[in-house]
Amino acid sequence: MIDDFIQTSQTLHSRWTQTCLGTGALTLEDSVLRMAIPAVAQGTYADAQIDDYGTLARSDFPWHPPLRMEVRARSSHPAATPASTSRDPHLLRGTAGFGFWNYPFSVRGDILMLPEAVWFFYASPPSNMALVPGIPGWGWKAQVIHSMRPGSLLATLPTALATGWGLTTGNTRPAGRWLQRLSGAQEQLLSVPMTIWHTYVIEWTPEAALFWVDGEPVLRAPNPPTRPLGFVAWLDNQYAIATPRGILRFGTVACDDEWFEIDSIHIERH
């Protein structure tokens, strides 16, 4: 599958399901797809998204290993850093990214599932999805989540017990390790500036998911998901908090005008 967004009209290819919620908008200009959110207040949800699974059952999602994905992308605002807070000005707000996932929170009547993903993922504070010890719960990341595996079920009770221990004692390290086992998360924080065009690559095989940025390796994640996943690219103003202290919360953040652009998407089956 190749889409360079070189269109004779301002219409996306029919392969894409287009989602624009709230003030979210999708536009094509100079062979670039722009996912944009005009300024929006906290408490109002906005989303601009394309995906290739919109009308499919999960069993029919189109992508599974082995494959190679290459995406060229940039954003209007810089990414949050480990030192960022929700009060920092001029950051990209909400979440954004592209890659493959299982759409675990389906509203089409599918059975709800634990999340599976092989993607490049961004979140800004106050998001704090602390899935891997030692890595901030926000920022621009290469990330794998593999919750649908036998080890996740075995980790459920220890995670709950360790979280309770963390709430009582303040020692969240055991809960952090068990949360990683529960989610199957592997990730690496990226240092490249999101505001500049970069080429992002995922080489996904049954044995490992390899992530590259501009030809430089950034993450090797062994034993990734192998179930069929769908491709998604999006920008929204949502946040999520899931920490070893047992805090679980979702919401929206205020943002100024912002956008996330994609110049090309290439996916090859191997």
Between 160 and 26, where is the model more confident? 26
Percent of the chain with pLDDT over 90: 63
pLDDT digits (tens, 9 = 90+) for 223-245: 999 999 999 999 999 998 876 55
Q: Across 1-10, 62-71, 172-181, which has the greatest mean pLDDT? A: 62-71
Tell me what pLDDT residue 166 has: 46
Average pLDDT over residues 141-161: 65
Lowest mean pLDDT, pick from 7-21, 51-65, 106-120: 106-120
Nearest to 75 by CA among 258, 264, 263: 258
Q: Name the CA radius of gyration of the chain, rounded.
A: 18
Between 129 and 244, where is the model more confident? 129
Average pLDDT over residues 77-101: 91
Percent of the chain with pLDDT over 70: 81
Tell me what pLDDT residue 221 has: 96
Residue 162's pLDDT band (cuts 50, 70, 90): very low
pLDDT digits (tens, 9 = 90+) for 136-145: 999 999 999 9
Residue 129's pLDDT band (cuts 50, 70, 90): confident
Q: Can you tell me which residue has the tokens 């899931």? A: 242
What does the alpha-carbon distance between residue 62 and residue 51 come to, in Å, rounded to a whole number? 11
Average pLDDT over residues 121-139: 90
Lowest mean pLDDT, pick from 15-19, 74-78, 158-162: 158-162
pLDDT digits (tens, 9 = 90+) for 192-202: 999 999 999 99
**Residue 156: phi, psi to the nearest 5?**
-60, -55
CATH of domain 2-7+18-53+60-149+184-269: 2.60.120.200
Residue 5 has pLDDT above 80, yes or no: yes
Average pLDDT over residues 14-41: 94
Tell me what pLDDT residue 157 has: 41
Q: Where are the beta strands (DSSP E) in the chain?
A: 2-3, 17-21, 25-29, 32-37, 47-51, 67-75, 95-101, 116-123, 128-129, 139-146, 186-189, 198-204, 208-213, 216-222, 230-236, 238-242, 248-252, 258-269
Quickly count: other Cβ atoms within 10 Å of residue 45's Cβ: 16
Dihedral (C-alpha) 214, 212, 114, 170: value to the nearest 10 degrees? Answer: -90
Dihedral (C-alpha) 85, 184, 236, 197: value to the nearest 10 degrees? Answer: 80
Q: Is 209 exposed, middle or buried (0-12, 13-18, 19+ CB in 10 A)?
A: buried
pLDDT digits (tens, 9 = 90+) for 87-98: 787 899 999 999
What is the H or E stretch that residue 30 is in?
Answer: none
Distant-in-sequence, close-in-space partners of 62: CB < 8 Å, separation ≥ 6 = 52, 53, 56, 228, 230, 231
Nearest to 107 by CA among 55, 185, 34, 145: 55
User: Which residues on adjacent β-strands are paired with residue 244?
Assistant: none
Beta strand pairing status for 186-189 and 128-129?
A: unpaired
Q: What's the mean pLDDT when you consider all of the chain? A: 86
One-letter-per-residue 3-state SS of 46-75: CEEEEECCCCCCHHHCCECCCEEEEEEEEE
Hey, is 144 helix, strand or coil? strand
User: Which residues on adjacent β-strands are paired with residue 249?
Assistant: 241
Tell me what pLDDT residue 172 has: 52
